[in-house]
Every structure is written in C-alpha cells, then in structure tokens.
C-alpha cells in the first residue's frame, strides 16, 4: 500500500479489517504511547490488554497465543502476527529484502509512504501510534476528544518537541492523516484554537507535574518497566513459573492510566487489563550501525522487531529459541 499524498482510511480498513473489530486481544509497548493505545482501544472497541512487550521480554497472559493478539506501538516482523507501529524500519527501499512481506499485517505509516532511513530519514513519521490509531478508527466510529486530552496526546513520544523542531515535516504528516478535516478526531488536537503558545506550555508543565507526582516524585512514571538495560526481568513477582507485575509498579502504571483516562475521557476498564498470571518470554536485543550490509545481515537473523532509533543505530530483537509463536 503506497499512499504518498493523503491516507485512504477506507482502504486501510479494507486491507486490515481487524483494526476496527470489537473485543480483540492486544499486547502493548509499556510506554505512554502504548498505554494510550490500550486505553483508547479498550474504551471504543472493548479490546483486552493481554500483555506487554519491551523488545527484550514479553509478558503474555497464560493460555493466550501471540498469534491471537495485535501488537500496538511496535511492528512485528512475522506475517502471522498483526501489529500497529510508526518507527523507521526500512533502511534502503531500493534494496528491500524478499521477506519484507512479513510486515504485510502491520499498519505502519512509514511503510505506507515507502519511506526509508537511507533517503527519507528526515521525512519519517514524527507523531505517535495513538495518532494514526485515532485517525483510522475515527474514520469508522465517532471519537470524542475533549480539550483536556490535548496535552497527553501532544506529550506522548515527545510529539510536542517535534512540532516545534520539525514543523515542515509535521505539517506534511498532519495533512497526510487528514487532521485538517473537521470530522477527523485529530483536528481538535492539532488544529485547536484553545491554546496560545504560552498557555499550551503552561498546560504541559502542569501535566508533567501531575505525572511526576504519581510515585516518589520521579521520572519514568509514564511507563511500565519490565526489564533493565541488559534484558533482565524487573518489577515482577514469580510464583510457580507464573509472573505478575509487582504491586508498586502496577499501582504506578494504574496511576498514570487513570490520569490519561480522566483527561481523555477514555474509560479505564480494569477488567480489560491483565496485570498478573503472565507467562514470560525472553529475547535478545542487539544494535548495529545502519548500512546496507548490516541491514541485510540483520534480516537474515529473522528479527522479531527493530527500529532505527537514530542515524547511528538500529536496535533489533532476536528470537533465539523460536518461542514467540509458541
């Protein structure tokens, strides 16, 4: 699917009808974007949050298969698995690997526009997964976006920084997503007349403080930390081979989700969220310098997921024991 000027939401839903189906199981990235996506899909389509994946470990509700879940805020390089993400994943579009079809079940704006890192890195998608989700789902059902939702929707993934740092690229992508159309739920976020520049800064400052005050006045209250930098599981409790999120980490996560819920109006339905009875799958995360040779070598290793996080690195995840689909 290549849509260079403006996205065709009807075509997206036609190709990926599962994105507007009710009651689907999903797995989230455990950061603010992933949590917003889970809250949004639970509220509007009754999706069930069955686990979390941070590219080093996967927590998945016992008895649930990854093939029955949709990954939100991460692209999974397996044709059997559905996913939605927004990262830069293609290095050189003139040298696409034969296995590129493994992303056939991934809703991915950079792939839609055939943007790569080699020629188009400065044009990469500058928003978050929640924004393309709102656009797609909002083209099918009516989404309510109160003005109080603007701050968290600009905060996630540092989108507010991109708006002022890369205005030309952001304007191009907002037009691509049709955010300039009145009936688009993104319109109130990016085309609102509610805030002056100063009042927006003040509102964001107040939001930052609210998040910081969730737990011990620390940073990191906007994500769930399930592993450390080496991939060792963290903030988990194990009993007979089954894992649950430690109570302090769960309380912190729920505190952040409830703030998001209060501001967006998207209801936090506790029964839709899984916090315990997890099976744990551990993977190997590596990094390479981006070039054609390294990218080709990486693809041959059949990575689960990856992202070009800067012009100097591609971080990727290997499934050394082939356990993702087990």
> What is the per-residue pLDDT across 230-276, written as a single tens digit (0 to 9) for each?
999 999 999 999 999 999 999 999 999 999 999 999 999 999 999 99
* Stretch 285-299: mean pLDDT: 97
Q: For residues 232 and 226, give the distance between their C-alpha atoms in angstroms, rounded to a whole number.
A: 8
Q: Are 99 and 301 in contact, with CB atoms under 8 Å apart?
A: no
Categorize the per-residue pLDDT at 216 as very low, low, confident or very high, splitting at 50, 70 and 90: confident
* Stretch 76-98: mean pLDDT: 97
Is residue 29 predicted with pLDDT exceeding 80?
Answer: yes
Question: Is 93 contained in some domain?
Answer: yes
Give the helix ranges, DSSP H, for the chain: 9-15, 32-45, 109-112, 117-120, 129-138, 150-155, 159-165, 167-176, 187-190, 197-212, 247-264, 292-300
Domain ranges, residue 247: 9-318
Q: Are 83 and 74 in contact, with CB atoms under 8 Å apart?
A: yes
Question: Is 4 contained in some domain?
Answer: no
Question: Is 104 contained in some domain?
Answer: yes
Categorize the per-residue pLDDT at 217 as very low, low, confident or very high, splitting at 50, 70 and 90: low
Question: Is 324 contained in some domain?
Answer: no
| H/E segment holding residue 272 | none
| Other Cβ atoms within 10 Å of 210 Cβ, number | 17
The rounded percent of the chain whose pLDDT value lies above 70 is: 98
Residue 125: name the closest of 134, 114, 137, 136 by CA.
114
Q: For residues 59 and 255, give the distance between their C-alpha atoms in angstroms, rounded to a whole number.
A: 20
Q: For residues 91 and 177, give the distance between their C-alpha atoms in angstroms, rounded to a whole number.
A: 23
Question: Is 176 contained in some domain?
Answer: yes
Is residue 218 predicted with pLDDT exceeding 90?
Answer: no
Is residue 79 predicted with pLDDT exceeding 70?
Answer: yes
Question: Is 3 contained in some domain?
Answer: no
Encode pLDDT of 46-58 as tens digits: 999 999 999 999 9
Question: Is 152 contained in some domain?
Answer: yes
Question: Is 181 contained in some domain?
Answer: yes
Weakest-pLDDT range from 149-158, 216-225, 313-322:
216-225
* Stretch 115-138: mean pLDDT: 97
* Stretch 156-164: mean pLDDT: 96
Residue 159: name the closest of 147, 180, 173 by CA.
173
Q: How many domains does the chain have?
A: 1
pTM, to two decimals: 0.96
Q: Are 213 and 204 in contact, with CB atoms under 8 Å apart?
A: no
Give me the chain's average pLDDT, please: 96
Q: Are 234 and 228 in contact, with CB atoms under 8 Å apart?
A: yes
């Amino acid at each position: 699917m290549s849509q260079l000027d403006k996205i065709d939401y009807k075509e997206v839903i036609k190709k990926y009808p599962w994105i507007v189906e009710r009651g689907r199981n999903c797995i989230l990235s455990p950061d603010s974007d992933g949590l917003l996506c889970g809250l949004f899909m639970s509220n509007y389509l009754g999706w069930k949050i069955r686990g979390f994946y941070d590219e080093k470990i996967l927590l998945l509700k016992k008895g649930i298969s990854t093939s029955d879940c949709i990954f939100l805020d991460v692209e999974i390089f397996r044709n059997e698995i559905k996913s939605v993400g927004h990262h830069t994943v293609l290095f050189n579009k003139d040298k696409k690997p034969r296995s590129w079809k493994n992303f056939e079940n991934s809703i991915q704006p950079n792939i839609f526009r055939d943007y790569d890192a080699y020629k188009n890195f400065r044009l990469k998608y500058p928003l978050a997964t929640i924004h393309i989700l709102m656009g797609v789902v909002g083209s099918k059902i009516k989404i309510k976006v109160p003005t109080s939702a603007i701050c968290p929707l600009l905060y996630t993934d540092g989108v507010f920084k991109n708006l002022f740092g890369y205005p030309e690229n952001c304007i191009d992508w907002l037009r691509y997503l049709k955010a300039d159309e009145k009936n688009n739920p993104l319109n109130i976020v990016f085309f609102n007349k509610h805030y002056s520049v100063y009042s927006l800064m003040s509102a964001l400052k107040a939001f930052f403080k609210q998040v910081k005050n969730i737990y011990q006045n620390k940073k990191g209250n906007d994500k769930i930390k399930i592993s450390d930098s080496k991939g060792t599981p963290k903030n988990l409790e194990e009993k007979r081979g089954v894992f649950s999120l430690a109570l302090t980490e769960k309380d912190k996560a729920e505190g952040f989700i409830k703030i998001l819920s209060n501001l967006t109006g998207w209801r936090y339905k506790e029964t839709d969220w899984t916090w315990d009875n997890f099976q744990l799958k551990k993977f190997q995360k590596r990094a390479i310098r981006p070039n054609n040779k390294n990218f080709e070598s990486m693809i041959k290793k059949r990575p689960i997921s990856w992202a070009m996080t800067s012009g100097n690195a591609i971080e990727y995840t290997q499934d050394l024991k082939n356990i993702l689909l087990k």
